[in-house]
Chain A
Amino acid sequence: MLGKTAGGLFWMFRYLERAENTARMIDAGLRISLTRSSAAESEWTSILSSTGLRGAYEANYGRSYDGPRIIDFLLRDPSNPGSILAGIEAARENARLVRTALTREVWEAVNECYMVLKKVLANPIEDRDLPRVLQVVRQRSAFVRGASHGTMVRNDMYNFSRIGTFFERADNTARILDQKYYILLPSVRLVGSASDNVQWETILRATSATRAYQTLHEGENDPKAIAQFLMLDGRLPRSLKFCYGKIAENLGYIEQEYGERSTSHALVDSICARFRAHDMNAIFDYGLHEFIADFLRDSAALGRQIEIDYRFIE
């Protein structure tokens, strides 16, 4: 397989995952602004930070954090290269680049995703249409994932697609935690305060983990348990541990297929070891914020290393 193709698959699935995650965050932000308007502004700025787009937003609109404007910015604003629409376009452009590596089903799913969203996001979205539009984003992205799961041969092409998906997903969960870590700290715990409950809910909502958490924890909102769930619970498909398990697994298949280990394997192993070796108490002792910052740094290094090891670019 061409290095360019591996890179194209990796990025195609990263962009799709990112668009889907941004849709989840908008959904969570919308929820908070509907239920607690006083908290809305700080929630929107935190979402802008989580998506890494706060700088781009402020460059365009200054420091006025107006909900509808931020929603439009995240969804479709042409001045925002990180908008959902731009992400879908980038995913589809990568899909065209790697067209020969995709099955017809996967190509059609991503092409249709693009055609539908281009139409849906051609104009600003009215409030009443927003939940439906966000659902379309999540659903269309899931269709592509489903088509690839159901039709792609399990070889290096599939592995690079999966690595892209989980790399982006873990990055997203970590960025949300990075923004919200302070409300999960035991030291500042104000058990049961309405404010914290809403904040905790937002985190769970933004990672589509609300129902799963409640089922597994019998509805008891506990910051430590939430942090543990999103970071170390191998059952949750958006937890850091789960995503890194998948990245390690797919890199492992590539190792088997190619018959050689690369530096990426060592990096991913060291990240995975961290999730095995520590429980939440140890992480709180070390410092939750520091732990997440370390993770983001090491995961960025892994991303660069994969690009080098598998010759995405010259």
Chain B
Amino acid sequence: MAKKPDYFDEMYGRGSTPRAPFEDYAKWFDGENNARLLEKSAEAEALFRLIGVTFNVYGDPDAAERLIPFDLVPRIIAAREWAKVSKGIEQRVRALNAFLHDIYHRQEIVRAGRLPAEMLARNDAFLPEMIGVTPPGDIYTHIVGTDLVRTDDNEFYVLEDNARTPSGVSYMLENRETMLHMFPELFSKIKVQPVSQYPQSLRRSLMACAPNACSGRPTLAVLTPGIHNSAYYEHAFLADQMSAELVEGHDLRVVDGRVAMRTTRGYKPIDVLYRRVDDDFLDPLTFNPDSMLGVPGIMDVYRAGGITIANAPGTGIADDKAIYSYMPDIVEFYTGEKAILNNVPTHRCSDPEALKYVLDNLADLVVKEVHGSGGYGMLVGPAASKKEIAAFRIKLEANPGNYIAQPTLALSTVPILTDAGLAPRHVDLRPFVLVSPQGIEITPGGLTRVALSEGSLVVNSSQGGGTKDTWVLEE
């Protein structure tokens, strides 16, 4: 296998013998025939199509439903490695919730001088409507997807804290089902921690956050923008697995101070709403008045304790890029401990000294807009031409406060199956975290996204990325 010594490969490290977590798998793989595995790969694809694990591509009617490519070489993580990662995630998620409570109440962190007040005041993701509101159970982020990358044996970095409506968990679950279906023999040889409990854990976790208005067993519903949404499959999947109703805005209305769904027998109140609709669209009376996806008046019901909304409105502030650079401070402020997981060192260009450093090192850095997303308006120094760098320099100097800069990380690789056998590709990892008054639960592993073209660092499914099953081994 051709090796790129400048990247850490999770199967082979920086050498040519398998690392411990991959040993048993490598032994099995050596006894397999590449052609048979490629057949299995086609079989998996047919299975995904039949089940309907697809995502919609907007504005492309001919290819309205696409599959995210699935690679059948698992990513394997040792129990010891996972223990450290999950401890770090738990710490971070606990801090995020404490942070959200604080900024919507007394803002101690601002008073203590650890976070500049303008980080909140000038931020669209901060919702004034949430000031003074305490969600049921004091939980803001019921579901978090913490995006991690690995750069070495012991180096994990948090790339992003997805605290709004992280998606992808259905792929984590279907990937495992598919692997169990295709390679049962592997799972009897290698002891892998299960993930299939996730939907029940999610249900339990949401039910534990029922609002005061709920009497008896909480009624749970999943709010989807509808069948044309790119993640509709996931919404239906989770509702189905949790035995919750899958509702759209037009199924709901406020009746007697509760949010209720139209059933065949009349309106029935909902206690906990797992919404997969953005804040902006949640309530046309409070936010975007043109929204057809939400429920007029739901925010009033929410503030009066008539419904639990998961995640809480206004949690987006916690995964904002500008706030991200303060995460090590935030973790320390609320937990009294040093952050276990690394933040990617982030230079805030608003600071003159940082700006000078960034301008001197543009060719080596990734520069991002503070409020940008999806890779727009950003500079990837090592991949940019001199001309592009010069043009970006002018934009940066004109409005430094609008930018942050980070070093380019040497993302780890995991092999994928190709016609010519195994070949290393860059990966990231999104573990899924559930938060309830009873505690924090992290499903072992998560969703591994993989850049399918050689050398590429872009793992996004909208740009041709694929996924892998992620195995955390038993102790």
A residues whose Cβ falls under 8 Å from a Cβ of B: 1-6, 93, 96-97, 99-100, 104, 107-108, 111-112, 115, 156, 258, 310-311, 314
Known contacts A96-B52, A100-B236, A108-B50: A156-B227 contact under CB 8 Å: no
Q: Are A3 and B52 in contact (CB-based, < 8 A)?
A: no
Q: Are A156 and B264 in contact (CB-based, < 8 A)?
A: yes
Asked whether any CB of chain A lies closer than 8 Å to the CB of B81, the reply is no
Q: Are B246 and A310 in contact (CB-based, < 8 A)?
A: no
Give 16 CB contacts A-B under 8 Å: A1-B264, A3-B262, A4-B248, A5-B245, A6-B264, A96-B227, A96-B236, A99-B52, A99-B240, A100-B236, A100-B245, A107-B52, A108-B51, A115-B49, A311-B263, A311-B264
Question: Interface on chain B toward A: helix, strand, loop, or mixed SS?
Answer: mixed
Contacts of A96 in B (CB 8 A): 52, 227, 232, 236
C-alpha gap A237/B227 in the complex (Å): 34
Min C-beta distance of A307 to chain B, whole Å: 11
Q: Are B261 and A2 in contact (CB-based, < 8 A)?
A: yes
C-alpha gap A4/B240 in the complex (Å): 16
Of all chain B residues, the one with the shortest Cβ separation from A309 is B264
Asked whether any CB of chain A lies closer than 8 Å to the CB of B265, the reply is yes
Q: Are A258 and B265 in contact (CB-based, < 8 A)?
A: yes
Contacts of A311 in B (CB 8 A): 262-264, 266
Asked whether any CB of chain A lies closer than 8 Å to the CB of B273, the reply is no
Of all chain B residues, the one with the shortest Cβ separation from A107 is B52
- Which parts of B205-223 form the interface with A (CB within 8 Å)? none
Asked whether any CB of chain A lies closer than 8 Å to the CB of B43, the reply is no
C-alpha gap A310/B265 in the complex (Å): 7
Contacts of A2 in B (CB 8 A): 245, 247, 251, 261-264
C-alpha gap A3/B265 in the complex (Å): 8
Contacts of A6 in B (CB 8 A): 264
Which of B50, B244, B264 is A3 in contact with, Cβ under 8 Å?
Answer: B264
C-alpha gap A311/B250 in the complex (Å): 12
A-B contact count (CB 8 A): 55
Min C-beta distance of B315 to chain A, whole Å: 26
Size range of the chain B interface in the assembly:
20 to 34
B residues whose Cβ falls under 8 Å from a Cβ of A: 49-52, 227, 232, 236, 239-240, 244-248, 250-251, 261-266
Q: Are B240 and A111 in contact (CB-based, < 8 A)?
A: no
C-alpha gap A65/B66 in the complex (Å): 39
Of all chain B residues, the one with the shortest Cβ separation from A92 is B52
C-alpha gap A108/B51 in the complex (Å): 6
C-alpha gap A107/B248 in the complex (Å): 20
C-alpha gap A144/B185 in the complex (Å): 33
Of all chain B residues, the one with the shortest Cβ separation from A99 is B236
Known contacts A97-B227, A107-B52: A3-B263 contact under CB 8 Å: yes
Q: Are A4 and B262 in contact (CB-based, < 8 A)?
A: yes
Contacts of B251 in A (CB 8 A): 2-4
Of all chain A residues, the one with the shortest Cβ separation from B241 is A100
Contacts of B244 in A (CB 8 A): 100
Min C-beta distance of A106 to chain B, whole Å: 12
Contacts of B50 in A (CB 8 A): 108, 111-112, 115
Min C-beta distance of B243 to chain A, whole Å: 8
Contacts of A104 in B (CB 8 A): 51
C-alpha gap A96/B245 in the complex (Å): 14
Nearest 8 A/B pairs, CB to CB: A99-B236, A310-B264, A100-B240, A3-B262, A6-B264, A100-B239, A100-B246, A96-B227
Q: A3-B263, A311-B264, A311-B266 are in contact. List 10 more A-B contacts (CB 8 A).
A: A2-B262, A4-B250, A4-B251, A4-B262, A5-B245, A6-B264, A93-B227, A100-B240, A115-B49, A258-B264
C-alpha gap A93/B226 in the complex (Å): 11
C-alpha gap A112/B51 in the complex (Å): 9
C-alpha gap A186/B251 in the complex (Å): 53
Min C-beta distance of B229 to chain A, whole Å: 11
Contacts of A93 in B (CB 8 A): 227
Q: Are B263 and A1 in contact (CB-based, < 8 A)?
A: yes
Of all chain B residues, the one with the shortest Cβ separation from A95 is B52
Of all chain A residues, the one with the shortest Cβ separation from B243 is A100
Known contacts A4-B251, A108-B50, A108-B51: A314-B262 contact under CB 8 Å: yes
Contacts of B239 in A (CB 8 A): 100
Q: Are B246 and A99 in contact (CB-based, < 8 A)?
A: yes
Contacts of B245 in A (CB 8 A): 2, 5, 100
Most buried by A among B251, B261, B266: B251
C-alpha gap A1/B247 in the complex (Å): 11
C-alpha gap A2/B251 in the complex (Å): 8
C-alpha gap A168/B429 in the complex (Å): 49
Of all chain A residues, the one with the shortest Cβ separation from B50 is A108
C-alpha gap A96/B65 in the complex (Å): 12
Of all chain B residues, the one with the shortest Cβ separation from A258 is B265
Of all chain B residues, the one with the shortest Cβ separation from A96 is B227
C-alpha gap A156/B264 in the complex (Å): 9
Most buried by A among B51, B239, B262: B262
